[in-house]
Amino acid sequence: MSELQIVLPRFRRRNLAAGLFDSRLNGLLTLACLAVAVWMFMPLWRWAVNDAVWTGLAPDCGVDGAGACWAFIGAKFRFIIFGFYPPALQWRPALVILGITILLFVSARPQSWRKWLLLLWLAAIPLCWLLMAGTLLPPKVPTNQWGGLPITLLVSLIGLATAFPIALLLALARRSEMRILRTIAVLFIECLRGVPLIAVLYVAMLIVPMALPADALTDKLLRAQIGITLFVSAYLAEVIRAGLQSIPAGQTEAAYSLGLGYWRTVQLVVLPQALRIVIPAMVNLAIGILLNTSLLTVIGISDLLNAAKTAATDPNWLGFHSEAFVFAACVYFAISFGASRYSIWLEAKLQART
Amino acid sequence: MLLRIASRKRYEPGFSKPGSWASARQWLGPSPFLQAAFLFVVLAVCWYLGNNVVETMQRLGLKLGFGFLSQRANFEIGESLIAYSSSDTYARALLAGLLNTINVAFFGCVIATVCGVMLGIARLSGNLVLASVARAYVEIFRNTPLLLQLFLWSAIFHSLPAPRRAIEFSGGFFLSNRGIFIPRLIFDGPSVFIWLPLAAAAAGVTIIATRRRFFGQRFYATRILVLSVAMFVAVCWATGVSVSAELPARGGFNISGGLSLTPEFAGLLTGLVFNAAATIAEIVRSGIQSVGNGQWEAARALGLRPGHIMRLIVLPQALRVITPLMTSNYLDLTKNSSLAVAIGFPDLVSVANTTANTTGQTLEAITIIAAAYLTLNLAVSVLMNLYNRRIMLREERRR
């Protein structure tokens, strides 16, 4: 998406002088901005660095005039990252995070966009789930004990992956000539895009158990995952539709005239071009999903944000909410910022190639 | 594609018009039986799920339907724009929640637009410090979850000093953990005329803003401002309404007078505004950058000043890019206001949630939430599309 494309100013000396003090007005503006920035950031700096307590226990942080209590983050680090997962088994979520990170880095290179990568992901995600649940390697850990970063990562990745086929069909249906199919797709997409994610999660939490036979889908996380998948599929469908629309009609007509059927045309001619165009938009959507999974906190699933929130209610470390939130914000920021840089780089690369 | 074109074709004399079955088939598109089968499957699944819900509710002893709306709600709402007490009905409680949602969404959109446009222009400034500060702001607020930002704002507003030691700004602004206190305008005079000055000012704005539509004249913001203020003052003078500002003041254990915003409302509004402003800044920046450099150069060659270039040449073209994106941003802000439930502001979702918990009418409560947001979304998109039609390229409009 060109929306995120940012031209980095090069900090050469000539540029710096031109950008800061080339006219009297500009010089004044520079000084004023610096003054405001210093005035606003000094208290923050004092809180976060100067007066901060880096080591020790809760009483050390309770001192009057003390700033941020980073010792609290040190003590609760494992809890914020892994939630209520049994401490002896925390190598499992750690392994899941590591595996997902490596996979993400591997799939970031356009050279590795081959069939094996797709198969790797299709194998890796269920494997992560099985490893977390301990199905293959007892003891088992029920999903209500999962928490922290693995939940955030797994729910967003699984959401994106499972939403993809649904979104593809929805996008095709919305552009199809078949009136009933098109109407159903439009209704589905617009209704899901029109309501807040919280409402969708409430439906998944409260209505779905009523709508299904008594003992089906008792797992809360699974239900939330279904809600998120459906929500994402509506947004992803619109992204894919944009890609489909950008393919000139001549391509389809040429394929038809060669005697290809609808599905072969879509598979061989339309999709490879359309999907390539919308990859940067999909990366941006993925960032949005990652940030939106924090809403799981509202329905009581212990994702990263909720784990951070819960950490601040530990009786030994009471009330360090701001520190917990700032730490969680840093984790979210690191992932999203990295991904948004990547999408800019990717867009430039893909444009250069075509 | 071919079929759709054919269905719009006017039939020349000599050709026979297709019969009703043929038209219906054309309207339906290819493979009607497959489509009918699909529709049947979808309806069957819906019926199965709906049936299960009804059965479960019957088992729990709940009656399906909206009859509960006229019962006594028996719960309090922290703040509401209309008079509400716990002896009122659920319907009134939900209405209070809906009005709170609309209130926060409206002010959120207005303030976020102002902040976002300023930020977006700052992002493009030639001054490196200003541009970098704006860029850092945008990156931070776009790359962290909104819910986390709301938690943080809520924590900040709740940790402000007690009213007795409230932080005071000049001009009668107080920050305290009981809320934010700002000056309020007080209209005093014959009660019939109280709203007349404001109505007159609104009429002034409307007249000038729509003049272009009827007389083809341009309108300028300064002219609108001057006329509306003039009409306001004139009507005040004519009807004997006096206007004064009531400043909040410390008194006893609390701050009295003025307009007070609760910490929840202030937290939600601040969070939504800060978050949306970052997105709007990016939209404005990309919109302005979408206007080619040649336009600037041509305008400079004509001898126009930068302010004029911006207002007369760049902005009108940029608005075409900006408006649709802005619409979806307003819709997002409205939907995001539902996160109020997490920080204790009684918006529609929060009230509906309480209603569902106390009555057990979950299905109805969620239906109300969905219907309300869909309607709000529809209203915002209709308004913004009207505006979009106005600023579109002429050729595009004719299509």
What is the tens place of the pLDDT at every residue in A282-307?
998 999 999 999 999 988 888 899 99
Residue type, A322: S
Please state the rounded mean pLDDT for residues B201-209: 73
Among positive and negative, which fits the CA dihedral A43, A48, A49, A55?
positive
Residue A335 to chain B, least CA–CA distance (Å): 8
Q: pLDDT grade, residue B368 (50/70/90)?
A: very high
Provide the 8-state DSSP code for B225.
H
Closest residue to A3, CB basis, from B4, B57, B282: B282
Give dist(CA B297, CA A185) in Å, integer.
47
What tokens appear for B250 in the block?
Answer: 């410390």
What tokens appear for B143 in the block?
Answer: 């790359």
Q: What's the pLDDT at A16? A: 59
Question: Measured between CB atoms, does A210 come within 8 Å of chain B?
Answer: yes
pLDDT at B136 over 80: yes
Closest residue to A194, CB basis, from B3, B50, B373: B373
Pairing of strands B259-261, B179-182: antiparallel
Give dist(CA B333, CA B329) in Å, integer.
6
Percent of chain B with pLDDT over 70: 88
- The phi-psi region of residue A68 (left if phi > 0; otherwise alpha if psi is between -120 and 50; otherwise beta) is beta
Instruction: Kindly state the greatest CA–CA separation across chain B.
Output: 92
From chain B, pick out residues whose CB is under 8 angstroms from the CB of A211.
49-50, 52-53, 56
Q: Output B311 or B16, whichever has higher pLDDT.
A: B311
Please report which residue ranges of B162-292 form alpha helices under DSSP H: 196-215, 221-239, 263-289
Phi, psi for A146 (deg, rounded to 5): -75, 160
Is B374 in contact with A195 (Cβ distance < 8 A)? yes
pLDDT at B7 over 70: no
Residue A334 to chain B, least CA–CA distance (Å): 8
Residue B232 to chain A, least CA–CA distance (Å): 36
Question: Measured between CB atoms, does A34 come within 8 Å of chain B?
Answer: yes
Output the CA angle A162-A166-A168, nearest 5 degrees: 115
Give dist(CA B24, CA B27) in Å, integer.
5
Angle, helices B32-59 vs B20-28, to 10°: value is 70
Closest residue to A26, CB basis, from B127, B139, B147: B127
Which helix (H) or strand (E) element contains residue B21? helix B20-28
Nearest-CA neighbor of B334 among B148, B103, B175? B103
Give dist(CA A212, CA A216) in Å, integer.
6
| CB-CB contact of B306 with B177 (8 Å) | no
**pTM (whole model) above 0.90:** no
Which helix (H) or strand (E) element contains residue B186? strand B184-188
Question: Measured between CB atoms, does A331 come within 8 Å of chain B?
Answer: no
Nearest-CA neighbor of B267 among B342, B214, B196? B342
**Residue B305 CB partners (closer than 8 Å, separation 6+):** none
Residues 239-258 of A with CB under 8 A from B: 249
User: Which has the minimum average pLDDT: A8-22, A127-141, B283-297?
Assistant: A8-22
User: Which has the minimum average pLDDT: A12-16, A181-185, A292-296, B207-211?
Assistant: A12-16
Among positive and negative, which fits the CA dihedral A27, A11, A335, A2?
positive
Mutation target among B334, B338, B348, B359 for the A interface, most CBs of A within 10 A: B338
Q: What's the pLDDT at B139? A: 92
Q: What's the pLDDT at B392? A: 66
Give dist(CA A139, CA A326) in Å, integer.
34
**Closest-CA residue of chain B to A209:** B53
Q: pLDDT grade, residue B2 (50/70/90)?
A: very low
Length of chain B: 399
Alpha carbon of B356 to those of A213, B36, B187, B214, B339: distances in Å? 21, 36, 41, 50, 17
Residues 139-168 of B with CB under 8 A from A: 139-140, 142-148, 151-152, 155-156
- Tell how far CA B188 is from the center of its chain: 31
Is B148 in contact with A292 (Cβ distance < 8 A)? no
Alpha carbon of A143 to those of A67, A225, A346, B73, B163: distances in Å? 37, 12, 35, 36, 45
Give dist(CA B166, CA A175) in Å, integer.
59
Pairing of strands B167-169, B173-176: antiparallel
From chain A, pick out residues whose CB is under 8 angstroms from the CB of B130.
29-30, 33
Closest residue to B31, CB basis, from A6, A178, A333: A178
Q: pLDDT grade, residue B252 (50/70/90)?
A: low
- The phi-psi region of residue B80 (left if phi > 0; otherwise alpha if psi is between -120 and 50; otherwise beta) is beta
Radius of gyration of chain A (CA): 24
Q: What's the pLDDT at A316? A: 80
Phi, psi for B385 (deg, rounded to 5): -70, -35
| CB-CB contact of A231 with A192 (8 Å) | yes
| A68 CB neighbour count, 10 Å cutoff | 23
Quick: pLDDT tens for B52-103: 888 888 888 887 778 788 888 778 887 878 888 888 888 888 999 999 999 9
Please state the rounded mean pLDDT for residues B366-382: 89
Mutation target among A192, A210, A289 for the B interface, most CBs of B within 10 A: A210
Quick: pLDDT tens for A142-199: 888 888 899 999 999 999 999 999 999 999 999 888 888 999 999 999 899 889 999 9
Q: What's the pLDDT at B79? A: 82
Residue type, A295: L
Question: Measured between CB atoms, does A325 come within 8 Å of chain B?
Answer: yes
Provide the 8-state DSSP code for A89.
G
